[in-house]
Each structure stands twice: as C-alpha cells, then as structure tokens.
Structure 1
Amino acid sequence: MPALGNLTRRLGHHRWFGAAARLLVPADRVVGRLTRGRVVALGLIPSLVITTTGRRSGVPRSNPLLYVPDGDAYVVIGSNWGQQHQPGWAMNLLARPEAEVDVRGRRVAVRAELATGAERDRLWTLLITEWPAYRTYVKRAGGREIRVFRLVPAGRGGPGGAGDR
C-alpha cells in the first residue's frame, strides 16, 4: 500500500480532495470505531481517532486524524482541510485538554498541549514530512496559523506530568 499512500499524499494538495475527504469522515468515524482505531483513513496514512468532550454540549465527539509520533506522544494539527474556521475538536481541546485516542487498536488517555514557538516549528516539520499538503491548507486558510497539538499520554510529559518526554 505504500504506492497508494504516496498517491494520496500528492492528491491531498487538491481542493477537491479535501472536499471529498470531508464527506467521507462520517464513514471513517464508523470504521475507526468498529475496528477500535486499527483502520482509519483506509490505513493509507498514520491515523488515530480522537475523542474530545464538546466544549458546549459536554458530549463526547470522535474524529479521525492524521498523526505523527513524537516519542510516546502523538502530534496532530487542526487544519480542517484548509477551511477558514478551526475544527470543532481543536476548539474542544482548547477548552478541555483531556481526551482519548484510539491508535492501532489501543485506547490511550491523553492531555493536549498546544505547541508554540520553536516547539511548534519542530512539530510542523514532522507534520509536513508526513503530509506535505498541510502547506497548501495554510494557503487555503488565508495564511492563518493552524494549531498544532502534542497529545501526551496521561501521567507523562508536559507540565505537571510524571515523566520526561
């Protein structure tokens, strides 16, 4: 499947790809839930399912996301396929940084850290190496800075955590 993954990465720059992918997200959520995170994004790119708590509703919300590993943490980006507005899951993390991720069939409680400065730059490089279309998404979003989160397993890393990164 590496060739298909490479094709997907090239197609990711096209506006129609983002529109089509947004339409498939509900189906991807179902597949992710049924496989407990083992199959997301058709297994073409490293993906997880994040479950956040709705900032207004208090209801759990699950979304499939591309991620890159960073030590024992997961790095995700609130690109929203290059739309002008932030995705709901990112706003939920800002309001309540505790979440859960399903990664390759493993459920992990995490705490989201919003990356800034040099740390954001480092993580951005990891993200665009995996999904170069993020550069295109920034242009589509009018040049606004897209939020980058580091999802640290609960009880480790970050401020007040019980370990080092």
Structure 2
Amino acid sequence: MTTADQHEAVEDSPVGWVASHIRRYVQTDGADGGTFHGVPSLLLTTRGRRTGTLRRTALMYGRDGDNHLLVASNGGADKHPAWYLNLSADPTVEIQVDAERFAARARTATAEERVRLWPVMTKVFPTYARYQKGTEREIPLVIVERTSAKPQGSRAR
C-alpha cells in the first residue's frame, strides 16, 4: 500500500465518534484531530484481512526515534482490535501524521522492545497501564517503520 493507492476506496471506522474524528483530521490535515485528549493522533490505514478493503482508523501514538508507536488496547477489551488483526495479516500500512502521508511497515514489538517501549506509551497515555491490568491478554505494542522516503524539509512529529 502506498500513497499511490489513493484511487482505491477507503472505509473509515464504523464507530461514530472515530469516523467523525477521521473526517475532521482529513479535512484539516490534522489541524483538527491531530490530538485526542491532548495526546498526538494519527490515521492508520490497513488492508482488511478478510475483505481486502482498505480500512482507516485514528489512533494515539508515541515515538521512538523515527518510528511511530501504537498500542492495540481496544479500550482494554479482551480481544485485539480489528486494525491490529489486519496489520498482523498484512503489515504494509499507510500513516497520516498531520498533512504528511507515507507508506510504512507495522510489526509487533519483541518482548525486549516492549519492556523498553511500554513505559514510553504509558507516559503518553497512562490509561494504557490500567487497560493492561484489566485484561488477561498482553496488549500488543506496535512499531510502525516508514518505508517511503521522507520528503525534504518534512517535519513529522
């Protein structure tokens, strides 16, 4: 999936408030929607594992160098979110951070990486720690690595 796939239809999250957040984000290049409860947010597009349809959601994120970090918390539910299942089946994704869109590859953090990066994400959004305590599943931490060249002069956050 690349930004060249823009001609392909994308289905936004079926959750009403998330779909509204995505619309505002897209219409304003992240000026409205670039944060959620004071936490930076991005748009993640994955390919549906069963349908092949492009699916877009809005997620809070953290950073580790040039990589973006996502937490597949699903609000602390006992099941993984659909976006995580999709990128597990096809790790080629697209990210939009503010006005910048780029191709990336997503992967679940290794056990060693998770030990180092989980505190980064619980600092970004402390509720993640409560979510983890409230479920038996280990909530996946996802590392998103850019695969397309960074445009000259780009200032991605």
Give the structure-1-normalised TM-score.
Answer: 0.75
CA distance change for structure 1 residues 93 and 71 in 2, over 3 Å: closer, same or farther? Answer: same
Root mean square deviation, CA, Å:
1.8
**Size of the alignment, in residue pairs?**
134
Give the structure-2-normalised TM-score.
Answer: 0.78
CA contact (8 A) 2:29 2:99 kept: yes
Structure 1: distance between partners of 2:104 and 2:31? 18
**1:42 CA displacement:** 4.7
Corresponding residue number in structure 1 for 2:8:
none
CA contact (8 A) 1:37 1:106 kept: no
1:154 paired residue among 136, 141, 147: 147
Uncovered stretches (5+) of structure 1, i.e. residues with no partner: 1-21, 157-165
2:83 paired residue among 73, 85, 89: 89
Corresponding residue number in structure 2 for 1:105:
99
Uncovered stretches (5+) of structure 2, i.e. residues with no partner: 1-14, 150-157
The structure whose residues are more often helix, as a share, is 1
The percent of aligned pairs where both chains have the same amino acid is 35
Structure 1: distance between partners of 2:74 and 2:59? 10
CA contact (8 A) 2:67 2:144 kept: yes
Deviations 1:38-80 (A, max 9, x none): 4324572111000001111111111100101111110001001
CA distance change for structure 1 residues 65 and 147 in 2, over 3 Å: closer, same or farther? Answer: same
